[in-house]
Amino acid sequence: MAAVHESTLSAPRPGGLRGRRLCVAPMMQCTDRHDRYLLRLISRHALLFTEMIPCGALLHGDRRRFLAFDPAEHPVALQLGGSEPAEMAACARMAQAAGYDEVNVNVGCPSSRVSAGRFGACLMAEPERVARCVEAMNRAVDIPVTVKTRIGVDARDSFEELCAFVATVAAAGCGTFVIHARKAWLKGLSPRQNREVPPLDYTAVHGVKAEFPELEIVINGGIRSLEAARAQLARVDGAMIGRAAYENPYLLARADALFFGDPHPVASRREILQAYAEYVRRELGRGVYLRHMTRHLFGLFQGCPGARRWRRHLSEAGACADAGAEVIEQAYRHVAATGSSRGAVSEPPIDSAIEGGCP
Ligand SMILES: Cc1cc2nc3c(=O)[nH]c(=O)nc-3n(C[C@H](O)[C@H](O)[C@H](O)COP(=O)(O)O)c2cc1C
């Protein structure tokens, strides 16, 4: 099978972004620019993704708002939802002009609204169309054009069909695939169930890498720790973490040392909060709502003493009309106070967060 695929491959554009060794997944309602700014305070190198932005929103909506990001977020990829090659090319051009490091095509979202717009996971059944999009986008931009997909959709779920999809899209010039190791059921399962019910099949993703060693393959789905992500690097080129990184962003604290050979001192949660509070002050001055920024902090003390009071203070005090960035420091005092009343240090240890929770 490998020989057949190789003969159909034109030279894919090398991805070459070092950050792909560890990526944080695109997540609607989660990985907005505020969340990405926070994550970047924790890891300097992991590749961050925007939420999926439908092409229509960029072409006909408030483009500036959808494309906005802080220069500190680099490396950052913009994820697009769409299936019209000319539109995708136009949006890729906008992404490049805005300064994104990569543009990624969503071929994994199972929502019925997205399928009705003929993009997302339903495109797995239309590899030629995805290939035409990638081709048009590659002609329009110099930044890497990548694809995030699943291992199958509905009845199209054999390994051969997955490889045929990858071969067709790679032949159009896509050198990097992020593969969520679950199939999607377009009828009968909600998007949430589609992230939990279809079983994880890492072997299928490893198999794609074995079939296409020249392609960069990033595995995604169910990875809950840096150790689990690192173990995947024996089989594939990178790992992408979604929910675990949103629910517990401090999970990324040692990512730079473990994945990128950068042994800089790990910032404590307190230092991260101080830097994020400065950002919050700046953004409040630009009219951003406090709660749109503080909501991403809820998981920062996940599993630590005082975490519940931390979340409660952030959500209750943060909802007051006249509240400002001081809410963050106040909420932190709850964690510190709980920690010291239990005889613990006020800054929970880093390693326990990496293992998935504090003692
Ligand atoms: C709230 C939420 C929103 C998501 N939005 C997107 C999206 O916009 N684009 C996309 O490709 N995947 C999206 N996903 C899927 C994730 O990128 C990822 O593939 C999935 O959560 C599996 O990885 P995980 O098990 O590490 O969370 C979303 C997932 C969640 C939980």
Q: Distance from the CA of 107 to the center of ligand 1, in angstroms?
A: 12
Better-scored residue on pLDDT, 21 or 12? 21
% of residues, the chain, pLDDT over 70: 89
Reference 16, options 131, 205, 165, 142; nearest CA is: 142
pLDDT of res. 115: 86
Q: CA–CA separation, 350 vs 267, rounded Å? A: 9
Q: How confident is the model at residue 340 (pLDDT cuts 50, 70, 90)?
A: low
Q: Which atom of ligand 1 is nearest to the CA of 180?
A: 19
pLDDT of res. 44: 96
What average pLDDT does this structure show over 139-166?
A: 97
The tokens describing 240, both together, are 């992408």
Q: Is the Cβ atom of 28 under 6 angstroms away from ligand 1? A: yes
pLDDT of res. 318: 85
Element (H, E) at 53: strand 47-54
pLDDT of res. 281: 97
pLDDT in tens, 70-115: 999 999 999 999 999 999 999 999 999 999 999 999 999 999 989 8
Of the listed ranges 173-177, 302-306, 313-317, 335-339, the one predicted with least confidence: 335-339
Q: CA–CA separation, 299 vs 144, rounded Å? A: 32
pLDDT in tens, 35-78: 999 999 999 999 999 999 999 999 999 999 999 999 999 999 99
Adjacent-strand bridge partners of 77: 49, 102
The tokens describing 76, both together, are 């950052």
Element (H, E) at 15: none
What average pLDDT does this structure show over 208-228?
A: 98
Q: Is the Cβ atom of 182 under 6 angstroms away from ligand 1? A: no
For tokens 């809820």, the residue is: 298
What average pLDDT does this structure show over 149-165?
A: 97
pLDDT in tens, 124-139: 999 999 999 999 999 9
Q: Distance from the CA of 49 to the center of ligand 1, in angstroms?
A: 10
Give the three-class secondary structure for 235. coil
Dihedral of the CA atoms 56, 59, 60, 66 (nearest 10)? 80
DSSP 140: H
Nearest protein Cα to ligand 1, atom 18: 242
Reference 37, options 278, 224, 348; nearest CA is: 278
The tokens describing 171, both together, are 């032949």
What average pLDDT does this structure show over 254-283?
A: 96
The backbone torsions φ and ψ at residue 146, rounded to the nearest 5 degrees and listed phi first, read: -125, 165
Q: How confident is the model at residue 8 (pLDDT cuts 50, 70, 90)?
A: very low
Q: Report yes or no: 8 and 169 within 8 Å, Cβ to Cβ.
A: no
Give catalytic status of residue 91 as yes or no. no
Q: CA–CA separation, 138 vs 144, rounded Å? A: 8
Of the listed ranges 8-22, 177-191, 228-242, 290-304, the one predicted with least confidence: 8-22
Q: Which domains occur in the chain, in start order? A: 22-260 (3.20.20.70), 269-353 (1.20.120.1460)
Q: CA–CA separation, 344 vs 339, rounded Å? A: 5
pLDDT of res. 346: 44
Q: How far is CA 57 from CA 52, 112, 302, 332, 335, in A?
A: 10, 18, 34, 37, 40
Alpha helix ranges (H) inside the chain: 2-8, 33-42, 55-60, 63-67, 85-98, 112-116, 127-140, 159-171, 202-211, 226-232, 243-247, 255-260, 269-285, 290-294, 307-318, 326-341, 350-354
Q: CA–CA separation, 324 vs 290, rounded Å? A: 7
Q: Is the Cβ atom of 29 under 6 angstroms away from ligand 1? A: yes
% of residues, the chain, pLDDT over 90: 83
Q: Which atom of ligand 1 is nearest to the CA of 192?
A: 31
**pLDDT above 60: residue 226:** yes
Using only the alpha carbons of the chain, give its radius of gyration. 21
Q: Give the mean pLDDT of the chain.
A: 90
Q: How confident is the model at residue 342 (pLDDT cuts 50, 70, 90)?
A: low
- Catalytic entry in 30, 109, 122, 304: 109
pLDDT of res. 338: 80
